[in-house]
Amino acid sequence: MELVIGAVFTACMGCSSAPEVMLFKRFQAQWRSINQADFDDAFTSDDVMPEIIDVKDDVLRFIEQQLDEQQQRDDYREMLILARAFLGGGVTAPFRYPGPIHHARWMAKVIYSFKVWLFRRQFRLTVREESGLRDICVFAVRLYLKAWFTAPLAAAAPNSDLELMKALAAYPER
């Protein structure tokens, strides 16, 4: 699963030999100047809304179910909360300070992608950066979240893997 999101990140944001993602390092440095009450969900973007409207309610229900369960790691919970905010489900707690950003932490890439995109009006992005982040966020809510959180269920694994492969094959290339 980590390889999938890693490949998506590279396809959307490009390769880098730096130990850290420089975009995320810039965002982390500016975090204190970000007004956390002023973020934009997917429905403020004419580019994103049509790509997620058909899955929004289903994914929000899934997120709420996952949040009701005890998450083993804080970053799993944070990813769910950010995905909910992205889908217009609101935020019930303050956003967490951006954490470590090196390339090895795939979860951090998803978390940062959501955070930077939600606050894109308050943070200078190139057109390519904004487009890449948008594509990562859309991929995460359309395919990745459910696949990641259901992967540990051994009895469902064969069917879940097949469904993910079919969804990946049908997913539009950008």
Residue 125 or residue 103, greater confidence:
125
DSSP the chain: -HHHHHHHHHHHH----SSB-HHHHHHHHHGGGS-TT----GGG-TTTHHHHTTTHHHHHHHHHHHHHSPPSSHHHHHHHHHHHHHTT---SSPPPPP---BTT-HHHHHHHHHHHHHTGGGS---HHHHHHHHHHHHHIIIIIHHHHHHTT-GGGHHHHHHHHHHHHHHSPP-
Q: For residue range 4-45, list pLDDT tens digits in order.
A: 778 788 878 888 767 678 899 999 999 999 999 999 999 999
Round the average pLDDT of the chain to a whole number and report it. Answer: 86
**pTM: predicted TM-score of the whole model, two decimal places:** 0.86
